[in-house]
């Protein structure tokens, strides 16, 4: 079995609170929310990070953005706006090595990030 926790969430062996489940993408609530709305948008296919993306991933990447848009509408944050971010590697503070966007909203977010 995969040691990747997000692959385990895709497989259903680790439970998650799903928001959206499409052919190639899963959206679920982050276990430690940092905003009133904080969900994760992941490809079902294991891709290590945004830095591992290749041209052949174009379809799944677009599907991730379409799922993020749909989740933002569904969760009521589309009108006021939101943040869609992906952390990469050590300095980026990526803790799960499976590509994911954080979709954050429901409050005024700060910029720049720490």
Nearer to ligand 5GP, 40 or 68 (CB): 40
- Is 30 among the residues that bind ligand 5GP (CB under 6 A)? yes
Token pair 């609170």 is at which residue? 17
Q: Could you say which DSSP state residue 32 is in?
A: S
Neighbouring residues of 98: CB distance < 8 A, sequence distance ≥ 6: 4, 5, 6, 7, 42, 46, 47, 48
Q: Which stretch binds ligand 5GP (CB under 6 A): 19-27, 55-63, 90-98, 105-113?
A: 90-98
- Is 83 among the residues that bind Zn ion (CB under 5 A)? no
Binding-site member from 4, 20, 84, 96 for ligand 5GP (CB under 6 A): 96
Query: Distance between CA 19 and CA 25 in Å, rounded?
Result: 11
Can you give the binding site for ligand 5GP, defined by CB under 6 A?
5, 14, 16, 28-32, 40, 87, 93-96
């Amino acid at each position: 079995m995969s040691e990747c926790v997000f692959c385990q969430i895709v497989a259903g062996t680790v439970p998650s609170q799903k928001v959206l489940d499409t052919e190639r993408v899963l959206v679920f609530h982050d276990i430690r929310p940092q905003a009133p709305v904080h969900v994760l948008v992941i490809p079902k296919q294991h891709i290590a990070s945004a830095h591992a993306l290749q041209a052949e991933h174009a379809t799944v990447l677009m599907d991730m953005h379409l799922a993020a848009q749909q989740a933002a509408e569904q969760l009521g944050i589309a009108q006021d706006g939101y943040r869609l971010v992906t952390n990469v590697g050590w300095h980026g503070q990526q803790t799960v090595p499976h590509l994911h966007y954080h979709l954050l909203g429901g409050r005024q977010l700060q910029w720049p990030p720490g």
